[in-house]
A and B are shown apart, each in its own frame.
Chain A
Amino acid sequence: MNETHLAALWSQLGPDARRRARIETRLFEWLDASETSLAGEWLDLLKVEPVRGLALAAAGALSLGLMTPVGWIMALVLG
């Protein structure tokens, strides 16, 4: 088997159009996700689902507000 023949045979190992498109879609979803800031994610959520987004933001703020004094007290007790 010569160089050209093996190269031609090896070219058949390439991905088909469907697989190539699938890789591209997933890859660019990952890239977009890796580059979106947390604030951007929240803004997108508010745009898509305003009620659920506000509810989640409120729950987050409430848990921060409650957990911070609990943390101080625990630190005082344990310290």
Chain B
Amino acid sequence: MIASAVTATPFPAPWPSSLLKALSTLFGADLEPLDEPAVLELIEQARAGDRAARQRLYRQHVNRVFRTVRGLLRTDAEAEDVTQDAMFTALTSLGRYSPRSGTPFAAWLTTIAVNTARRRFRRRRPELTATGELPDVPAVDTDVGDDIDSARQRAALLRAVAKLEPREREIVSLRYGAELNAAEIAAQLRMEAANVRKILERVRARLGERIDALMKSTGVSA
């Protein structure tokens, strides 16, 4: 009897992981990324008006959207506004998303985010409206509370990215911010995947050189 009661008691989950998950959720992010079928299920629930599902969709994707647009914009504040606008557009247009087109939800969402970032520049920089391209040298801001080394690394990356051509900046932001592969980037930017790979290789080398130089000048190892 006692033995069966003991074996029936579920073994408690290790507390650090559950604590981390609870803290992460408290601060507005989902710790574990969901796979595509689980995301599709959330989309269905969100379409049916489930607020919690919408919140989980937001928490699953907010970091990715912010990281993508941050490489395209001048400041964290602008990236915050664009992330908010893009998430609003996506969450109110879920009916337009069709997984049958073969586009993963994250790729669809980052397309909205990149278009929102482009629109922002059309509004703010009228001299660039003809092509809708992004400015050459965005400014860099850092949070005061950041650890100094990581803040310098972050600033060096942003400075190096700012020197790239607008198309290169979009490609590298979609690769490392949105975590899209070359084929998905190519589909989004209407380019050949081989061309995207070639540009990524070239840009990676150039970013490496620039970041190393900036780190050496500030005395921090990358």
Picked from B83, B154, B157, B205, the residue with its CB within 8 Å of the CB of A15 is B83
Beta-carbon contacts under 8 Å, A19-62 to B: 19-24, 26-28, 30-31, 34
B203-214 vs A, CB cutoff 8 Å, 1 = contact: the mask equals: 011011001100
CA A21 – CA B62 in complex, angstroms? Answer: 10
Check B58 against A27 for contact (C-beta < 8 Å).
yes
Query: Are A21 and B27 CB-contacts (below 8 A) given A10-B177, A26-B84?
Result: yes
Residues of chain B within 8 A (CB-CB) of A74 are none
Check B87 against A23 for contact (C-beta < 8 Å).
yes
Q: Is A66 an interface residue (CB 8 A)?
A: no
A interface: dominant SS: helix
Q: Is B111 an interface residue (CB 8 A)?
A: no
B interface: dominant SS: helix
Beta-carbon contacts under 8 Å, B71-101 to A: 71, 76, 79-80, 83-84, 87-88, 91-92
Residue tally, chain A, CB below 8 Å to B: 27
Check A13 against B71 for contact (C-beta < 8 Å).
yes
By beta carbon, the residue of chain A nearest B24 is: A17
CA A50 – CA B33 in complex, angstroms? Answer: 46
Q: A residues bordering B, Cβ < 8 Å?
A: 1-3, 5-7, 9-17, 19-24, 26-28, 30-31, 34
Q: B residues bordering A, Cβ < 8 Å?
A: 27-29, 51, 54-55, 58-59, 62-63, 66-67, 70-71, 76, 79-80, 83-84, 87-88, 91-92, 143, 145-146, 150, 153-154, 157-158, 176-177, 179, 204-205, 207-208, 211-212, 222
